Amino acid sequence: MNGNAGVNRIEGLGGNDTILAGAGSDVVLGGLGQDEITLGTGADRVAYASSTEGGDTVTDFNVAADTFQFAAAGFAGLVAGSSLGVTGQFVSNASGTADGAMAQVVYDNDDGLLFWDADGTGSGSAVLIATLSNLAGLTAADFLIV
């Protein structure tokens, strides 16, 4: 699936899609399946309705322009309009492990692995949302909760 230089909304389907967003400021919804997403230039948004849509590879996330968007309804414990930095729900470390007993977005900054951990340090397992193949230096500011 290909975008262009305009503002595009690109929606993947249930399979393993290859998405090339192009030069515009796009919204990319990979959907189910393990998608390969190349954002290109522009201020792009990679959107997830729930953690079941994860397992994607994002090849060129730009921390200066792009964002991840998570729907609070599909990520229990997140609140629409909240900042992960303010709520303490973003963790970035070399091990990819949560650091508290609450829902957290966890980034393994050594391997570029972005996880959703619904219970933090609880007994549940974290779910892989995306692999950032360019090892982007994510911070809480790179996330929008809707």
**Structure confidence at residue 2 (pLDDT):** 83
> Which candidate, 61, 84, 86, places its Cα nearest to that of 146?
84
Between strands 127-132 and 56-58, the pairing is parallel
Q: Which residues is 114 bridged to in the sheet? A: 107, 130
Rg (CA), the chain: 14
Reading the block at residue 43, the tokens are 């201020």
Tens digit of pLDDT at every position of the chain (146 positions): 888 888 989 999 889 999 999 998 999 999 999 999 999 999 999 999 999 998 999 999 999 999 999 999 999 999 999 999 999 999 999 999 999 999 999 999 999 999 999 999 999 999 999 999 999 999 999 999 99
3-state helix, strand, coil in the chain (%, to 5): 10, 30, 60
Residue 80: count other Cβ atoms within 10 Å of its Cβ. Answer: 11
- Name every residue whose Cβ is closer than 8 Å to that of residue 78 and which is 6 or more positions away in sequence: 70, 72, 89, 103, 145
Question: In the chain, what are the domain boundaries?
Answer: 9-145
Q: Which residues is 116 bridged to in the sheet? A: 105, 127
This prediction's pTM: 0.95
